[in-house]
Amino acid sequence: MSTLAQQFSGLLSRAKNRKVDPLPVRLWATRTGSGSATHYVAGFDKSLLWVTVTLLLWGLVMVYSASIAMPDNPKFAAYAHTHFLLRHAISLVVAVVAALIVFQIPVSVWERLAPWLFVVSLVLMIAVLIPHVGKGVNGARRWISLGIMNFQPSELGKFAVLIYAADYMVRKMEVKEDFFRAVTPIALAIAIVGLLLLAEPDMGAFMVIAVIAMGILFLGGVNARMFFLIAAILLVAFGLMIALSDWRRERIFAYLDPWSDKNALGKGYQLTHALIAVGRGEIFGVGLGGSVEKLNWLPEAHTDFLLAVIGEEFGLVGVLAVIGMFLWMTRRIMHIGRQAVALDRVFAGLVAQGVGIWMGFQAFINVGVNLGALPTKGLTLPLMSYGGSAILMSLVALSLVLRIDYENRQLMHGGRA
């Protein structure tokens, strides 16, 4: 009997010491040791990291390719041929350092800082409208000069609204079925942000922020009928913004008929030359550096219309590669968010899914504009287009997603986030 008791006790001891993953998920952890001493060390999603690095490096090459001929234009005659390349590289270095710092900060800290971060973004969006503080370019006042780079508060606004909306939905989870109690405060906050952005004006950023907030409300469990009511109100609001603005109406008409004599040399000029660039690329492209449209024919080739240059130099294959990477990235980020929610980390899950909505929607709009499927809108291609603020805040957001994934893995291995 004593022998049986000892064997039973040994079985219980081994069962208690056996590590079992609480969720049937893919962990991508690092295995160390050998034999019975083998164990897993929680890490983060390296595949997401490498896709991000690929987009960043490809973007750096394409920014150089798209901007190398710009000094031939009298407007940029004082610039060196490597001017935009060097500035973009500096932005990348700053963004990587910021991303490394963000990865060290626990998600719980971001949850506590969410309201204050939102307030800071509002203050900066107000400051950019003040003369001699905000910097105006082409009739828009969107930047604050920081010396080595210009900072765009609307990019911080995307991140701040995302964090604030996720925190708000967690705090108001118990009243999510009551439309007015749950939605009115966040709706007022988004309306204030929208008014400030339209004063710059920056309707593109407002669209992205509105979609991020709507996505988080939906994922947070707001009543479906009320959600679709809000969506309808936003569509009507954007429609009125276009109808009441002469230059926005002209953009829509130019999109509908870009090849007319009036539009081809006016509001449809960028669109027609983007389509020419994509058409020249055919299947495999004309080769890196071989673009003709970037030779001062296609305006903003290194920013909003970088994908058109990719289409010309790498063809349909290059465009599909970019679209494929963004689709995979969005899907992977949303998966990380679902893992966090399954681990009862609702705030972290909503933040990750909000980042997925941000990256996916902005890439969708930029690709649609470059391919002539959507009206021209001043939104850059995330991680690839020239623009220090956009690169900085995109990497900060993705670093936070990697931090969420890291904490998910810790919890699934029995540790603490």
Split at pLDDT 50, 70, 90, the class of 112 is very high
Q: Is residue 19 part of a domain?
A: no
Classify residue 11: in a domain, yes or no. Answer: no
> What pLDDT is recorded for position 24?
36
Terminal-residue alpha carbon distance, the chain = 45
> Average pLDDT in the 154-178 region?
83
Residue 10 forms part of a structural domain: no
22 occurs within a structural domain: no
Is 1 inside any structural domain? no
CB 327 within 8 A of CB 335: no
Tokens matching residue 218: 């939906």
- Look up the pTM and report it: 0.85
Sorted by sequence, the CB contacts under 8 Å of residue 314 that are 6+ apart come out as 281, 284, 285, 288, 321
Phi, psi of 284 (to 5 degrees): -110, 0
**What values do phi and psi take at 135, rounded to 5?**
-105, 125
Per cent of the chain over pLDDT 70 is 85
User: What distances in angstroms separate CA 402 from CA 54, 96, 100, one per listed residue?
Assistant: 16, 13, 10
Within a domain: residue 165?
yes
Beta strands in 47-196 (DSSP E): 134-137, 140-145, 150-151
Q: What is the DSSP string of 304-350?
A: TTHHHHHHHHHHHHHHHHHHHHHHHHHHHHHHHHHHHHHTT-HHHHH
Instruction: Find the radius of gyration of the CA atoms of the chain.
Output: 24
User: SS3 for 366?
Assistant: helix
pLDDT for the residue numbered 31: 47
Residue 150, SS3 per DSSP: strand
pLDDT 10s digits, 182-193: 677 888 888 899
Residues 365, 370, 376, CA angle at the centre, nearest 5°?
65
Give helix 153-171 / helix 346-370 axis angle, nearest 10°.
Answer: 140
> Which amino acid, one-letter code, is at 113?
L
pLDDT, tens digit, 9 for 90 and up, residues 340-395 = 999 999 999 999 999 999 999 999 999 999 998 888 887 899 999 998 899 999 99
d(CA 252, CA 375): 6
Domains held by the chain: number: 1
**Average pLDDT, integer, range 137-141:** 70
| pLDDT score at 182 | 65
**What are 79-85's contacts with CB under 8 Å, separation 24+?**
84/302, 84/386, 85/60
Helices (H) and strands (E) in the chain, counts: 14, 5
Give the bridge partners for 137, in sequence order: 140
**CA 20 – CA 33 distance, rounded (Å):** 18
Task: Answer yes or no: is 356 within a domain.
Answer: yes
pLDDT score of 74: 80
Query: For residue 316, is pLDDT > 80?
Result: yes
Residue 176: pLDDT band (50, 70, 90) is low
| Average pLDDT across the chain, whole number | 84
Geometric angle at alpha carbon 146, from 144 and 152, rounded to 5°? 35
Q: Pick from 133, 134, 57: which is nearest to 92 by CA?
A: 57
pLDDT tens digits, one per residue of 47-101: 999 999 999 999 999 999 999 988 887 888 788 889 999 999 999 999 999 999 9
Q: Are 358 and 381 in contact (CB under 8 A)?
A: no
5 located within any domain: no
Domain span at residue 177?
43-412
Give the residue with greater pLDDT, 203 vs 100.
100
